[in-house]
Structure formats: structure tokens, C-alpha cells
């Protein structure tokens, strides 16, 4: 799957609503192990033109991640990289 990050995220959102947990997003997160963090798509609650918003398990505050921090979008079902930062 090629395209812009937002297009890929929206395609997952609208075309695969029963398979959200089968997609993973890896993004830069300073302070995390190797400065990277991974979440599954089912944690995402909003996609905007410049960032996505997710809610970590067990927390009530939302986290805003700008698209420029995304490193990879992966299909866990077939371990295929859908998008990767160059």
C-alpha cells in the first residue's frame, strides 16, 4: 500500500474496522526504549490532517502524535510494512 500517512490510516479506519488490532504503528517517542513506541490501530480515536490521537490502555488522557513522528505502519496479519519513513 503506497500513499500518504493519512490516506493509509483512513483506509484502515474505513475499510478494515473489524481488523484494527491487526495493524501497528511505530513512532518516535523520546524516553521510550530505543526512542520508539508501538501501538495497535484499535487504540486510535481520531485522525486529523496533521496528527492522530490515541488513548493508552488504563489512562484517561489522550495522546496526540504528529504524522512526522510515525516511523512505520505494519499489517501484523502478514507482517507487511504498509508505510515506512525514509
| Structural domains in the chain, sorted by start | 5-80 (2.30.30.220)
The pLDDT assigned to 3 comes to: 67
Interval 25-71: pLDDT, tens: 999 999 888 999 999 999 999 999 999 999 998 989 999 999 999 99
DSSP of 5-61: HHHHHHHHHHH-GGGGGGEEEEEE-TTSGGGEEEEEGGGEEEE-SSEEEE--TT-SS
Model pTM above 0.85: yes
Amino acid at each position: 500500500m503506497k500513499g500518504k500517512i493519512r490516506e493509509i490510516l483512513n483506509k484502515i479506519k474505513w475499510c478494515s474496522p473489524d481488523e484494527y488490532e491487526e495493524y501497528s504503528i511505530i513512532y518516535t517517542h523520546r524516553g521510550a526504549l530505543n526512542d520508539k513506541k508501538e501501538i495497535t490501530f484499535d487504540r486510535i480515536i481520531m485522525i486529523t490532517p496533521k496528527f492522530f490521537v490515541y488513548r493508552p490502555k488504563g489512562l484517561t488522557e489522550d495522546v496526540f502524535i504528529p504524522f512526522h513522528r510515525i516511523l512505520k505502519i505494519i499489517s501484523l496479519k502478514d507482517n507487511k510494512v504498509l508505510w515506512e519513513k525514509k
